Amino acid sequence: MPDNDQLMRDYASNIPVPEFPDPAFTKAPALKDARVAIVTSAALHVAADDGFSLIDDPKFSGLDDNERQLRLGHFSQNFDRGGFAADLNVVYPVDRLHELADKEIIASVASRHYAFAGNQSDTVSGIRLDTGPEVVKRLLEDGVNVVLLTPV
């Protein structure tokens, strides 16, 4: 019987990683001044949404900060959903952010967070040129200056 973990490691080690010549970086504010949003690749969405497709899906889902009834759209059979089923904060630590805001460790929590699917094309062109910039625009309009990335 094949070792599935080794098969996944072998597969992942051969996935091409795009390189960008001049990545944009910015200096983050002190945490006490930070308005924080979550961006996740868990393909989270509300039940009424269509969700995400299995192949090369660059779209995103906007998640209202108060929404906790979310579905996990991550399709990999190797992904253990047990943690998510027990506690949403395993992949989407929104309640932990609110605890940090209540303790004044961060200034505030964004009104909306965003989810993408991890299954992007090899070039990541859709998310890099279209949906990514749209999410950045929305985050900036909400006054977000720090993003917590939660890859799955």
| Residue 58 and residue 127 in contact, taking contact as beta carbons nearer than 8 Å | yes
pLDDT of residue 38: 96
Give the integer Cα–Cα distance in Å for 4 and 15: 17
- The b-or-e profile of 62-101 (16+ CB within 10 A means b, else e) is ebebebeebbbbbbeeeeeeeebeeebbbbbbbeebeebb
pTM surpassing 0.85? no
Checking if the pLDDT of 110 tops 90, the result is: yes
Percent of the chain with pLDDT over 70: 75
pLDDT of residue 52: 55
Mean pLDDT of 21-50: 84
pLDDT of residue 63: 92
Residue 1: partners with Cβ closer than 8 Å, 6 or more residues away: none
Which residue did the predictor score with more confidence, 112 or 132? 112
Give the integer Cα–Cα distance in Å for 9 and 79: 13
Residue 56 has a CB neighbour count (10 Å cut-off) of 15
Residue ranges per structural domain of the chain: 35-150
Tokens 């047990």 correspond to what residue? 82
Checking if the pLDDT of 58 tops 70, the result is: no
